[in-house]
Amino acid sequence: MIENPAYLVEVTPEERALGQLNQANANRAYSAMNLQGFAILRGCFSPAHVADMHREYQAQYGAMTEADMRVLAGKASPVLEVDKGRFEIVLKLVGAFDIRAYASDLLLRFLIPLMGSDLRLSSVTAVTSYPGAVQQRMHRDAGHLFPEFQMGPTLPTYAVNVTVPLIDVDATMGPTGVWPGSHRLAEGKKPPEEGLLTVPFLKGDAILIDYRTLHAGLPNLSQNVRPILYMVYARSWFVDDTNHRLRSPLNMPLETFRALPDNLKPLLMRAYSQIVRAKGLS
């Protein structure tokens, strides 16, 4: 039997039903986040839920061609073209994009020890690449804290990007590649290009990437459109002014927010405050 690499944690159906990793799997994932700057929770979401999320994505944007997306991106809309053929979409949080996704018990119970019990949902988007989409540049989602003191690489995690592929993503479709351990590199220092690690993604995976980890979306060499859900969680004091300074970080009808259980409303307060700030700054 070939042992899984250290960053890959197989979530069992029992753990998914319980909404919590067993201690051995949790420790394995925490170690990967600390040493590698990322971890894959394979099977974090049930196949049925992922299928429902994909159907909801298709209902919202599945009919859009690349040209249609580019037209939307040129207007005041939820769509932003981040690279040629690659679009970030602020999804409407309806249907299967509900508390089972952004407030998953399993995810929150894993993330709270990393970032505190008052962590916040920072944004919910999808990143969709079309056939021919180019490879992204090596980048962090945001830089190190306190760069003038050169202490950022030694600090604990302040934000995590959780990516959930809505379909199986093989190497030809452009999964996200990461440079393991790059969250511990000083600002301005880069790992060798050949250190890029690429792993095919399976629908239902949750790929957790420390906000400081260098990564890049790979080119889409297939003939398939590749949608991936992106959910960012952060410490309560962190506001993402790098990626959402003038853009709303999520799209949730007010009546949906009001209907949330009271214990979940604080989770979304960060994003709602950014919506207000974005409107004020635009």
| CATH class assigned to 8-281 | mainly beta
DSSP codes of every residue in 193-217: GGG-B---B-TT-EEEEETTS-EEE
Average pLDDT over the chain, rounded to whole? 92
Whole-number Å distance between alpha carbons of 210 and 102? 17
| pLDDT score at 14 | 97
Q: What does the CA dihedral 171, 174, 179, 183 come to, rounded to 10 degrees?
A: -140
Which amino acid, residue 21?
Answer: L
pLDDT at residue 87 tops 60:
yes
pLDDT value of position 77: 84
pTM of the model: 0.94
- Res 279: pLDDT: 58
Q: How far is Cα 152 from Cα 63, in angstroms, rounded to an integer?
A: 43
pLDDT at 3: 64
The half-sphere exposure of 152 on its side-chain side, counting CA atoms within 13 A, is 22
Note the pLDDT of residue 276.
62
d(CA 30, CA 36): 10
Q: Cβ(156)–Cβ(254) under 8 Å? A: no
Residue 275 has pLDDT above 70, yes or no: no
Q: How confident is the model at residue 221 (pLDDT cuts 50, 70, 90)?
A: very high
DSSP 111-151: HHHHH-TT-EEEEEEEEEE-TTPPPPPPB-SS--SSGGGT-
Please write the tens of the pLDDT for every residue from 26-74: 999 999 999 999 999 999 999 999 999 999 999 999 999 999 999 999 8
pLDDT of 94 over the 70 cut: yes
Classify residue 50 by burial, with Cβ atoms within 10 Å: 0-12, 13-18, 19+: buried
Cα(95)–Cα(52) distance, rounded to whole angstroms?
8
Q: Which helix (H) or strand (E) holds 105?
A: helix 105-115
Distance CA 272, CA 268 (A): 6
> What is the average pLDDT across 132-150?
93
- Which pLDDT score is estimated for 280? 54
Parallel/antiparallel/unpaired status of strands 176-178 and 159-165: unpaired
Structure tokens at 197: 């690690």
